Amino acid sequence: MRVRIVGGGLAGSEAAWQAATAGVPVTISEMRPVRPTAVHKTDRLAELVCSNSFRGDKLDNAVGLLKEEMRRLGSLVMRAAEASRVPAGAALAVDRERFAETITDTIANHPLITVVREEAASIPPSSEQEPVIVATGPLTSDALSADIAALVGGNHLYFYDAISPIVLADSIDREKVFRASRWGRSLGSSFDKLRTSGGPACGVDDGEGDYLNCPFTREEYERFYDALVAAESATVHDFDKERFFEGCLPIEVMAHRGRDTLRFGPMKPVGLVDPRTGRVPYAAVQLRQDNLAGDHFSLVGFQTQIKWGEQARVLRMIPGLEQAEFVRFGMVHRNTYVNGPDVLDETWQVRRRPTLFFAGQMSGVEGYVESAASGLIAGLNAAAMAKGEPFSTPPRTTAIGALAYYVSHADPKHYEPSNITFGIMPPLEKAPKDKLKKKLAIADRALADLQQWLELRRAQHERSARSELVEGRAL
Ligand SMILES: Cc1cc2nc3c(=O)[nH]c(=O)nc-3n(C[C@H](O)[C@H](O)[C@H](O)COP(=O)(O)OP(=O)(O)OC[C@H]3O[C@@H](n4cnc5c(N)ncnc54)[C@H](O)[C@@H]3O)c2cc1C
């Protein structure tokens, strides 16, 4: 009895923790540092490759609900995130070093988990006693990608995402920027009612938090816009051919869609009152603290593929960033994922090979939390399979179940990886008119249904353990 996991990222680490907690020995193959990826910088498990935000953390937000469900399912990723939390208003953001260290140490010290530093060039053999979880993420190595493509056929897809730059805190001109949360909202604030739902991916403004805001006048915005659309960018030349996730578009691609597109996207000023003028600026760029020490800030929603020299020149036109020192520039990266509805069941099993599970971003979800959530269920189910116990996925009325349902039941012809949103959860039979109350009612239903599922599962496992005992005695 053993669960083999390929990939020690967010999904693989969570899956390993869940399986080992269920008493099943686990082996994780992680290729770093033997074979690096284009974006990971360390050899740690669960390294966050871009934003340090796990997005909204309240129950009136779908990703907040997903996190609460994960906590109730004993998630390691959630526990490590709490232990490395940094201020980010109503969002959950973490010190990335401390986060990955906590996960790496916990996994390394677990008596049932073995971490092997090797690249799996093909999908390992799997059986009911030794199921396999492949959780190799958006940057799955080429050899393994080829083997996955051979298994799933033409449904193995690629697309591209882009990431935001990070600046040194000391290099931000504090005379020009102002600290504020959108709508004055931070954890526990009285502006809770103004929350929006969902929350986009890739660090795009989640509309909440303790941010530094760079305010633009109309003239400054016009100058910045002209420089941005003229800047040299591989993306813009090819952007008709590339396939970007809509929630994670490079700023230059958005800018090319229209002069004001950015003012309604990552540069939207609504709800940001400059305390010095008492007014909302014409546009604003938000900077979010990126580590516990507070010496790095990322430009929220500013993923870009502008060439680095040009990037520094254009971004230094942002008020407050004239002298900015860049810790990391924005860039574009590959994203590998399978067409979930063609390939997977809602248990995260591969339909044509049920002893194999896919989890994380390569299974067709989008985002850190969603990746870890799919790893959580794949880990629980693979462990149950190895023990000969029944397994299932929480109902569709839960966020974690809705995600599994979306991945396995969306229209395969137009499949796009999704963040969790209330939109992919079934509507309430009797929904309150008030939007906030409606979201909270969906969350209440989800948590009650999750509890019921947990109790049912516990009872099934107890029954299965009892019948095994009886069979054992009969032998
Ligand atoms: C550049 C970039 C930026 C992103 N930004 C964000 C963001 O800001 N916010 C957000 O929510 N999501 C973001 N994502 C999307 C996604 O949520 C993350 O990639 C997340 O880490 C996915 O978790 P995972 O466990 O599926 O993959 P990963 O965390 O990438 O883990 C996969 C692991 O598998 C290993 N591996 C790969 N191939 C093999 C092999 N053949 N053998 C053994 N090991 C292998 C890798 O080294 C890696 O450690 C981003 C993705 C990328 C690539």
The minimum-distance atom of ligand 1 relative to the CA of 136 is 34
Are 330 and 165 in contact by the 8 Å Cβ rule? The answer is: yes
Cα of 255 vs centre of ligand 1, distance in Å, is 27
What DSSP string describes 252-269?
Answer: HHHHTT-TTTGGGTTT--
CA atoms within 13 A on the CB side of 299: 33
Q: Determine which residue's CA is closest to atom 20 belonging to ligand 1.
A: 368
User: Average pLDDT of 377-392?
Assistant: 96
Condensed to tens digits (0 to 9), the pLDDT of residues 85-114 reads: 999 888 899 999 999 999 999 999 999 999
Q: How far is the CA of 462 from the centre of ligand 1 (A)?
A: 36
Does ligand 1 lie within 6 Å of residue 81's CB atom?
no
Q: Give the pLDDT confidence score for residue 201 in this predicted structure.
A: 35
Model confidence at 244, pLDDT cuts 50, 70, 90, reads low
Tell which one of 329, 361, 420 to mutate to probe ligand 1, the residue whose CB is within 8 A of the most ligand atoms. Answer: 361
Q: Give me the pLDDT at residue 426, please.
A: 92
From 39, 139, 140, mutation site for ligand 1 pocket: most ligand atoms within 8 A of C-beta: 139
Confidence of residue 163 (pLDDT cuts 50, 70, 90): confident
203 lines ligand 1 (CB under 6 A): yes
Distance CA 293, CA 281 (A): 29
Q: What is the pLDDT of residues 177-231, one digit of tens each?
A: 999 888 776 543 332 332 232 333 333 344 445 799 999 999 999 999 999 999 9
Q: What is the mean pLDDT of residues 277-286?
A: 96
Burial of 163 per CB tally in 10 Å (0-12, 13-18, 19+): buried
pLDDT at 234 over 50: yes
Which tens digit of pLDDT belongs to each residue from 10-19? 999 999 999 9
